[in-house]
Homo-oligomer: A and B are copies of this chain.
Amino acid sequence: MKPTRTSPRDPPLILAFGAHPDDIEFGCGGVIARETLAGNAAHFVVCSRGEAGTHGSPAQRSTEAKRSAARLGATLEFLDLGGDACIEVRRAHVVKLAGLIRRVRAPIVLAPTPVENQHPDHTALGRMVREAARLARYGGVQALRRWPAHAIDQLLFYAITVEAEPVGVPPVLIDVSAPRIHRAWREAMAAHASQARTRHYLELQEARARVQGQRSGKTLAIALYPNDPLVFSSLTALGRAARHF
């Protein structure tokens, strides 16, 4: 796998935020693999070391996260927002996240859905990334003066569990059926080995992707939830919708 390297002048396509070391991989790892395998760069920001989890020390979890990101061809950094199970919606955190968005300058931002009935770190991070994407493009925010304002193109949410899927919001489906995409995704999830529950989670994610794939005539697809309406200049850009069986 040879993803195109990015230079400081050349921002990655994707900036993905995760609350815990394995969230990005489990929630949308296949989408990442699809883009990096096509030569588009991705950068991960992991906002805890999973220190509240039942299994795996913070050190182990961090190592696993790095390996997993490497398998997906993504770069990774950690960001401290108070620690696992302790991420609260704080304006100071939002400013940190906005600074990061300005620094990385990716057009596409991925974050966990801000749906309430799931791990509260996910909800809090999803909300804060949305607020940060807004702050990142306001010119007058003193605390962000260090970087020029940056307006992203798309904020897309990923859901790690069924409960985290926004009710009544139709997703866009990203085709991840290609075997080498599937393989990269599986291996990235499996890289989180300390997690006794990983096998279980891995199967849940594959079953979810299979459901989304089957409904759209593919083998595997991942659902993402756009924060804003999509804008097109022609109907020809819409492609083929998921067919209903």
In the bound complex, residues from chain B placing their C-beta under 8 Å from that of A173 are 229-232
Q: Is A180 engaged at the interface, CB distance under 8 Å to the other chain?
A: no
By beta carbon, the residue of chain B nearest A167 is: B168
Q: Is A182 engaged at the interface, CB distance under 8 Å to the other chain?
A: no
Of B162, B208, B234, B241, the contact of A154 (CB 8 Å cutoff): B241
B221 lies within 8 A of A231 (CB): yes
In the bound complex, residues from chain B placing their C-beta under 8 Å from that of A153 are 238-241
Q: How many copies of this protein are present in the complex?
A: 6
B229 lies within 8 A of A171 (CB): yes
Q: Is A114 engaged at the interface, CB distance under 8 Å to the other chain?
A: yes
Q: Is A189 engaged at the interface, CB distance under 8 Å to the other chain?
A: no
Q: Is A59 engaged at the interface, CB distance under 8 Å to the other chain?
A: no
B155 lies within 8 A of A241 (CB): yes
In the bound complex, residues from chain B placing their C-beta under 8 Å from that of A31 are 235
Expressed in whole angstroms, the Cα–Cα distance for A86 and B98 within the complex equals 13
